[in-house]
Structure 1
Amino acid sequence: SDDGEPSGSAGIQIYNTFCSRKITNILVVVVRYYGGIKLGVPGLIKAYRTATSEALDHAQIIEKCIETPFSARFPYALLPEISKSEKKLRLNRVSESYTGDTCTVTWKTRRSEAENCIKVLKGIHGVSVNPEA
């Protein structure tokens, strides 16, 4: 929000700084104290953009991916093939259990890749996939 500043001089400048660095899910608060000198719109734009850039330059950026869990049941004999697919699909194994001749494995993967991973595993004869682990 430009909250009292000339339109386009604050909020959009902060937002564009996030976009140019491809940063999402972030909160930045810029507090500006009036020091007696009028900056004008170009000066305000520069001030807000610079304040945001400098804050991001000194911030610890933590990258987190949104993950989706899913599980599969399959005969123990398929474990080598499943493990090969697991590695190829870059799945993060969360848990596994073995009951008699049956394996149940739960994975997490990026939400954007989950549909493809489930499709690949369902394509292996004898594998039952539960997309809502």
Structure 2
Amino acid sequence: MLSRPFLVIAASGLLLSLAGCASAPKGGSLSDYVGVGSRNVTTTCGGGFQVYRQPVNGRLLVAAYAVSEMRQTFCQSWRGEPSVSPVTGVRHEEAALEYIAQTPAMKGCTLVSGIEITRLHSEFVVSCPTAPAVAVKAKG
């Protein structure tokens, strides 16, 4: 028969380990985007991408289709363009910028940084302007 203190310690350990699973996404992991809706974006070279916007921290995950990745690479080399974009230096930046341009709620937002998670997945940190505070005047 198990003693009561052992059961309390075991239950506490289980709760603490599960609490880590429920923490806010920190970025850099594909698992942060499980259950997040996506939108298809096409770039100037005709590459198709899926872009996911993390509702908690506002980061963007760009997922390239393998065929789109090949097409984008070929198109950029044919045009003499660099394979990475100048703002963040991370692959698939053009798709993230296109997503921002097509999303009215992201008007004025810019890319701050990015990380290449895999060859087909890149994540970007987005900075958006804050709405001006409304001045409140006291009567009296």
Give the TM-score category using the shorter length. under 0.3
Which is helix-richer, 1 or 2? 1
> Looking at both structures, which has the greater relative contact order when contacts are Cα pairs under 8 Å and sequence separation is at least 6?
1
Q: Rg larger in 1 or in 2?
A: 1
